[in-house]
Amino acid sequence: MATSPDTVEPALAEGRHRAGVLHGRRAGRPLRKDQRARMARDLPALAVDLGTLADPAALFAPGIAGLRLEVGFGGGEHLAYEAGRFPELGFIGCEPFLNGVAKLVERVEALELDNVRLHAGDAGELLDALPAACLAGADVFYPDPWPKRRQRKRRFLSDANLGRLARALKPGAPLRFATDIDDYAGWVLARVLRSADFAWDAREAGDWRAPWDGWPSTRYEAKAIREGRPPAYLTFRRR
């Protein structure tokens, strides 16, 4: 049955949240009429079917050289940029926030990207559906830091989710993490360093203070730097 523009937003915004994975708002301001129409038209072809992920490369055209995942892509600026830089790779983005999904769907159309697929829901259920050792890399950029002590259990790069990521990543594959919150950087580092699945190969401050090659800074990042919160750019490697 065809999807109506008027049913896309309520269907996603009211989707059941799965606890302990990727917490946050499902929707903000109502989508514009053109966004709803684009979502109804384009999202079904971009959406990942969790029930058919035995071979995730089959989501893309033949010849894809590898798969990368971005968890919590926000408005999709980085994911769309990377997909344009590396057309030989397939990119899977996960984001529960409806307005961010709409923005990325718009970017995919504007940039004519055919190597992007989306999961508009929790990252944990996607990671659990992926086969082992299928990802060539994973990115988690500026996730919600959940700063209050009682909220920290909601932070995405927990021990449990590091285990999920480790299962899905190929040996040697990078897990990249960026944050402008010192406490969150230290919290994640503590969990990575006690994990048997990941290594942190940094040797000097420049290894985490400088962004990655080709990194496209965002408005959020520029604001953080102006406000005196220099980001940390951490790269972990799947053992």
Active site residue 122: no
Which residue type is seen at 38? R
CB 62 within 8 A of CB 131: no
Query: 6-13 — which CB contacts under 8 Å span 24+ positions?
Result: 6/36, 7/40, 8/36, 8/39, 8/40, 8/43, 9/36, 9/39, 9/98, 12/98, 12/101, 12/120, 13/98
Q: Three-state DSSP class for 199?
A: strand
Is the four-CA dihedral 209, 92, 107, 36 of positive or negative sign? negative
- Which residue out of 34, 49, 122, 144 is catalytically annotated? 144
DSSP H stretches of helix in the chain: 5-13, 33-46, 77-85, 98-111, 123-129, 159-168, 182-193, 206-209, 219-226
The percent helix, strand, coil of the chain (3-state, each to 5) is 40, 15, 40
Q: Three-state DSSP class for 67?
A: strand
Is residue 218 exposed (0-12), middle (13-18) or buried (19+ Cβ within 10 Å)?
Answer: middle
Residues identified as active-site = 144
